[in-house]
A and B are shown apart, each in its own frame.
Chain A
Amino acid sequence: MSSKLLDITDLAIQLPEGADRQFAVKDVNLELARGETLCVVGESGSGKSLTGRAIMGLLPAPHVRVAKGSIDFDGEDVTKVSYDRLRQIRGSEISMIFQEPMTALNPVMSIGDQIDEIFRFHVDMPGTERAKKAIKLLEDVNLPDPAQIMKAYPHELSGGQRQRAMIAMALALEPKIIIADEPTTALDVTTQAQILKLIRDMQLAKDTGVLFVTHDFGVVADIADRVAVMQEGFVVESGTVKQVLNHPTHPYTQALIAAVPRLKPRESRVRSETQVLAAKDICKTFGGGRGLFGFGKPDRIVKAVQNVTLDLHSGETLGIVGESGSGKSTLARCIIRLIDTDSGEIIIDGTNINSLNRADMRPWRTKIQMVFQDPFASLNPRIKVGDIIAQGPVTQGVSKEDADARARELIAIVGLDERAFERYPHEFSGGQRQRIGIARSLALKPEILIADEPVSALDVSIQAQILELLDEIRGQMNLSMIFITHDLRVAAQVCDRLAVMRYGEIVETGPTADVFADPQHAYTRELLAAVPGQGWEQDIEPTLSATADQTNSAV
């Protein structure tokens, strides 16, 4: 065995009967060498995570199992080894980093105990030495004050710190292979950059082989040596990172790469003089409440939105960008009056709608509408799609016939089949559901549309289609849009102007091109620098964009 650490040959993983396909993955051939990073890229349902899990023997048996092929690890076929041998391999020779560190760590055990477990199960070592090693590990992953972290419980750490602790655990026994299953997907972009760097450094120091599962081409460009692209269970293309990213040969890879939004701001359109919405000094604080009899400690107070002032002009798209917890979603909900503000004015057509009560607010609802983030939670599963879309007009007093007619019209506008009218939401895919959500928000013919992370739950190819749909509709209906996102690539593509939020405050606003070219605030610079895949110089070939147009026209 030379440098080849892992050799997957003709792997097929069988799914239980009644699944949408017989094999989760089929005919998969992958290999990984010492000190190499192999990225497995694909959209949801492509089988990339199951491939990673199969190597660890973590398939949800007995329904999902390896049906064919072999996974050769350093001369041993891990699909055939005994359970005891598999337990030895896990953690000490192959270890895994999961997507969501909060659920991958045991909430009732301190970090120190969880690291200690790994040593206890795998090596014979006195307790004091184990503790020393654990502290050393936490130091290696750059966690501040390791002695304190040892005693901390997972909920006491931030997302990034938890993921560092997970990595420390994965590295504890210096495994030969680390399988990282979307390890940065749940993290903010600045944290993601740090974690990626950490994984890279660790790998160089220990000469580890890393199998990195991700959906994000930016991350791939930053971290991979070699790439394997998966589609519906098959590896459609693999090669070095340069080959695959810059000269993809398979049409699916080409379409995927073309769908990745470029980090190049769009041309700002001429700003109209008409102001359609102005928010002044919006403040919102959560917490501080007490029980009925005033017992107990008051809740922790969170200043979600502080003195935010912004304005939106006719036909423009204002992007609000920021990391999780920056208050951008709260701000959106304040503007649309889903959450009552503590103070501030929201002015539409010269009226301060922030002072209206619910009944007086009702007619104003037709002016401003919202598209939500989660296409699965934002549609009532018990109501037919036609009725979901018609709800708005019906609530506003339009007759059922007219509302239904409007709903049918909108179903066509957002590019769905007319039979969708009679169906329930669960019969649709994520992208289609997001189209339904958009249709619902348009049913009242609003002037202002607030889109709260409308594409962050979607795969990149679907994301491109939804962004295009939003752009089309905005043109057709002369909508002004507030577009909330954490993804600067998406923001670059759709927004005329940007407002950058941190800790409930807007730190910088300006035309997108200016903010990208010459960020004024240190935080904006930090955000921009953290966007993965910037070194990846893409030559956007004309053939690529042509393929993209084709795929975009169909869901």
Chain B
Amino acid sequence: MVEFWHLYSRSRSAVLGLGILLVVVFLAAIANFIYPEDPFRLAGQPISVPGANGFLLGSDTLGRDVASGIAHGAKTSLLIGLVATLAAVFIGIIFGAFAGYYGGRVDDLLMRVTEIFQTIPSFVFAILLVAIMKPSIESIVIAITVVSWPGVARLVRGEFLALKNREFVQACHTLGMSDMRIMMREILPNCLSPIIVIGSLMVATAILIESGLAFLGLGDPNIMSWGFLIGAGRTMLRSAWWVCTFPGIAILVTVLAINLVGEGLNDALNPRLRERN
């Protein structure tokens, strides 16, 4: 662990990314304490400039507090990003592991299915899914999961293909070990590093998709999110710039931070890059 931190902290931008991410997580965690009220509540004078009428970051056209929205939105974004990514990684590992390990017909079948999902532009596909299922937090998570697992499946398949012919795997066969055990206990731990890296980058993509959906009005109407705030403020962009700008900056900074963390993990976990300074 200490050694890992040493490798990770060699990159200053990775440490910076982790710092920002921790701040966002902290903000999400304390949102209910600093803004105990419902973020949809009409808190005061509409279109107050930042700093006026007790609104730190101003208020929107209906008098909702932008700062409160960003704090509560952080919770939504991180939660959706994390849950959707975990689900996508899980599905991707199952598909990739079976395809890579068994090869042949199984591989052909599973990869053709994966390709069907990959042929549809992911954001359009996500819109379609949410529109069909009715916008709710569950349907958004499902939509993001469905559009993001194929990448993981491809990656895991490649790793399994490379590892399944290694001698240590053959040794397990000669010991009479079952396929399931070989896949899960022997091969999978050896491809965790790239999975962690791609997973961390997928969280960022998931946040972007969620914001995009909310911006288009396909977000969960009962849950505050950054995309919703931008969507709500876009008609007033010229007269009330702060309504769109601050949630936009929140998205930008969070996604950037997660990407930096992903890069840092990649550099630290990938032994081929370890020697590079």
C-alpha spacing A437/B190, complex, angstroms: 19
Contact partner of B109 (CB less than 8 A), chosen from A292, A333, A377, A379, is: A292
Sorting the interface of chain B by its residue count into under 10, 10 to 19, 20 to 34 or 35 or more gives: 20 to 34
Residues in B with CB closer than 8 Å to A338 are 170, 173-174
Is B236 on the interface with A (CB-CB < 8 A)?
Answer: no
C-alpha spacing A372/B172, complex, angstroms: 12
With A289-B104, A380-B186, A382-B189: A365-B174 Cβ-Cβ less than 8 Å: yes
Residues in A with CB closer than 8 Å to B104 are 289
C-alpha spacing A55/B108, complex, angstroms: 52
**Contact at A378–B105, with CB atoms within 8 Å?**
no
Which of A69-77, A227-235, A388-396, A514-522 faces chain B? A388-396
With A292-B108, A292-B112: A378-B176 Cβ-Cβ less than 8 Å: no
C-alpha spacing A289/B109, complex, angstroms: 15
Residues in B with CB closer than 8 Å to A289 are 104
Is B167 on the interface with A (CB-CB < 8 A)?
Answer: yes
Is B273 on the interface with A (CB-CB < 8 A)?
Answer: no
**Contact at A378–B168, with CB atoms within 8 Å?**
yes
Distance in Å: Cβ of B181 to nearest Cβ of chain A: 8
With A292-B105, A292-B112, A378-B168: A391-B175 Cβ-Cβ less than 8 Å: yes
Residues in A with CB closer than 8 Å to B190 are 380-382
With A377-B166, A380-B186: A440-B176 Cβ-Cβ less than 8 Å: no
Is B177 on the interface with A (CB-CB < 8 A)?
Answer: yes
- Please report the total number of A residues contacting B with Cβ < 8 Å: 31
Contact partner of A372 (CB less than 8 A), chosen from B171, B186, B189, is: B171
Distance in Å: Cβ of A487 to nearest Cβ of chain B: 19
Is A362 on the interface with B (CB-CB < 8 A)?
Answer: yes
**Contact at A391–B109, with CB atoms within 8 Å?**
no
Contact partner of B175 (CB less than 8 A), chosen from A365, A372, A377, is: A365
C-alpha spacing A135/B197, complex, angstroms: 51
Task: Give residues of chain B (156-192) contacting chain A, Cβ–Cβ below 8 Å.
Answer: 166-168, 170-177, 181, 186, 189-190
Is A370 on the interface with B (CB-CB < 8 A)?
Answer: yes
C-alpha spacing A368/B171, complex, angstroms: 12
**Contact at B176–A365, with CB atoms within 8 Å?**
yes
**Contact at B167–A440, with CB atoms within 8 Å?**
no
Is A444 on the interface with B (CB-CB < 8 A)?
Answer: yes
**Contact at B167–A392, with CB atoms within 8 Å?**
no
Identify whether the interface residues of A are mostly helix, strand, loop, or mixed.
loop
Distance in Å: Cβ of A440 to nearest Cβ of chain B: 7
Instruction: Name the residue in B109, B171, B172, B177 with the highest tally of chain A Cβ atoms < 10 Å from its Cβ.
Output: B171
C-alpha spacing A365/B171, complex, angstroms: 11
C-alpha spacing A440/B176, complex, angstroms: 13
Least CB separation from A443: chain B residue: B175
Residues in B with CB closer than 8 Å to A441 are 171, 174
With A292-B112, A380-B186, A381-B190: A370-B171 Cβ-Cβ less than 8 Å: yes
Instruction: Name the residue in B174, B181, B189 with the highest tally of chain A Cβ atoms < 10 Å from its Cβ.
Output: B174
Distance in Å: Cβ of A442 to nearest Cβ of chain B: 12
**Contact at A374–B167, with CB atoms within 8 Å?**
yes
Instruction: Name the residue in B167, B170, B173 with the highest tally of chain A Cβ atoms < 10 Å from its Cβ.
Output: B167
Contact partner of B176 (CB less than 8 A), chosen from A361, A372, A383, is: A361
C-alpha spacing A374/B171, complex, angstroms: 12
Instruction: Name the residue in B112, B166, B175, B177 with the highest tally of chain A Cβ atoms < 10 Å from its Cβ.
Output: B175
Is A336 on the interface with B (CB-CB < 8 A)?
Answer: yes
C-alpha spacing A374/B172, complex, angstroms: 15
Is A291 on the interface with B (CB-CB < 8 A)?
Answer: yes
Residues in A with CB closer than 8 Å to B176 are 361-363, 365, 392, 395-396
Least CB separation from B112: chain A residue: A292
**Contact at A378–B108, with CB atoms within 8 Å?**
no
Is A373 on the interface with B (CB-CB < 8 A)?
Answer: yes
With A382-B190, A396-B176: A291-B108 Cβ-Cβ less than 8 Å: yes
**How many residue pairs at the A-B interface have CB separations less than 8 Å?**
61
Is A369 on the interface with B (CB-CB < 8 A)?
Answer: yes
C-alpha spacing A361/B175, complex, angstroms: 10
With A292-B108, A292-B109, A380-B186: A373-B167 Cβ-Cβ less than 8 Å: yes
Q: Contact string, B112-123, partner A, CB cutoff 8 A, digits 1/0?
A: 100000000000
Least CB separation from B111: chain A residue: A292
**Contact at B167–A377, with CB atoms within 8 Å?**
yes
**Contact at B171–A378, with CB atoms within 8 Å?**
yes
Residues in B with CB closer than 8 Å to A373 are 167
Least CB separation from A336: chain B residue: B174
Residues in A with CB closer than 8 Å to B170 are 333, 338, 370, 372, 378
C-alpha spacing A382/B172, complex, angstroms: 14
C-alpha spacing A292/B175, complex, angstroms: 32
Residues in A with CB closer than 8 Å to B171 are 370, 372, 378, 437, 440-441
Residues in B with CB closer than 8 Å to A361 are 176
**Contact at A379–B168, with CB atoms within 8 Å?**
yes
Q: Contact string, A392-414, partner B, CB cutoff 8 A, digits 1/0?
A: 10011000000000000000000
**Contact at B177–A369, with CB atoms within 8 Å?**
no
Residues in A with CB closer than 8 Å to B109 are 292
Residues in A with CB closer than 8 Å to B167 are 372-374, 377-378
Instruction: Name the residue in B104, B105, B112, B166 with the highest tally of chain A Cβ atoms < 10 Å from its Cβ.
Output: B166
C-alpha spacing A383/B181, complex, angstroms: 13
C-alpha spacing A363/B190, complex, angstroms: 28
C-alpha spacing A172/B112, complex, angstroms: 51
Residues in A with CB closer than 8 Å to B172 are 391
C-alpha spacing A338/B173, complex, angstroms: 7
**Contact at B168–A380, with CB atoms within 8 Å?**
yes
Residues in A with CB closer than 8 Å to B105 are 292
Instruction: Name the residue in A291, A365, A369, A382 with the highest tally of chain B Cβ atoms < 10 Å from its Cβ.
Output: A382
Distance in Å: Cβ of A434 to nearest Cβ of chain B: 11
C-alpha spacing A355/B98, complex, angstroms: 25
Residues in A with CB closer than 8 Å to B108 are 291-292
Residues in A with CB closer than 8 Å to B112 are 292
C-alpha spacing A440/B166, complex, angstroms: 16
C-alpha spacing A216/B104, complex, angstroms: 42
Distance in Å: Cβ of A423 to nearest Cβ of chain B: 15
**Contact at B174–A369, with CB atoms within 8 Å?**
yes
Task: Give residues of chain A (342-389) contacting chain B, Cβ–Cβ below 8 Å.
Answer: 361-363, 365, 368-370, 372-374, 377-383
Instruction: Name the residue in A289, A373, A392 with the highest tally of chain B Cβ atoms < 10 Å from its Cβ.
Output: A392
Least CB separation from A370: chain B residue: B174
**Contact at B177–A391, with CB atoms within 8 Å?**
yes
**Contact at A395–B174, with CB atoms within 8 Å?**
no
Residues in A with CB closer than 8 Å to B174 are 336, 338, 365, 368-370, 441
Provide a sorted-by-A list of 9 A–B residue pairs whose CB atoms are within 8 angstroms: A291-B108, A361-B176, A370-B170, A372-B170, A378-B168, A380-B189, A391-B177, A437-B171, A440-B175
The 8 closest A-B pairs by CB, nearest first: A292-B108, A378-B167, A365-B176, A362-B176, A372-B167, A392-B175, A382-B189, A380-B168
15 additional A-B residue pairs with CB within 8 Å, beyond A292-B109, A395-B176 = A291-B108, A333-B170, A362-B176, A363-B176, A370-B171, A372-B167, A374-B167, A377-B166, A378-B167, A378-B170, A383-B186, A391-B175, A395-B175, A437-B171, A440-B175
